[in-house]
Amino acid sequence: MKRLFAFAEFLLFYLKEVLVSNLRVAYDVLTPKHRMTPGIIALNVADMSDRQIALMANFITMTPGTLGLTVSENHDKLYIHSMYLDGEVEEIADQLLNDYGKRVRRVV
């Protein structure tokens, strides 16, 4: 029953993320000034299973403006490309792990 509630929470969170990301990318495409600050983020996923890493990478990739690139050979880093690195890379990595990682761990 806990997983069912965790899945429902993840679904609502993810739908919000997709909506906000779509609006941000659409705004950037439709306005003359581009606000993109692209870059690559290394997420520390050493404490996650391969299944959790795959699920997290897939959901991040399906969110507009982000793309899962690869997992390191020893499976401790997940590399993500983001169109918008607004701030410190470590803060963004922590936010992604907190937002996606925490929820993925509860679901899987």
Q: What is the pLDDT of residue 76?
A: 95
- Sheet of 39-44, strand order: 39-44, 77-82, 66-71
Q: How far apart are the first and last CA of the chain?
A: 13
CATH number at residue 65: 3.30.70
The total domain count for the chain is 1
Look-up of token digits 């929470």: 9
R_g of the chain computed on alpha carbons? 14
Q: Which domain holds residue 96?
A: 2-107
Q: What is the pLDDT of residue 20?
A: 96
Instruction: Say what the pTM is.
Output: 0.88
pLDDT < 70 regions, the chain? none
CB contact at 8 A, 67 and 80: yes
Q: What is the pLDDT of residue 87?
A: 80
Helix/strand/coil (H, E, C) string of 25-74? HHHHHHCCCCCCECEEEEEECCCCCHHHHHHHHHHHHHCCCEEEEEECCC
Q: What is the pLDDT of residue 35?
A: 86
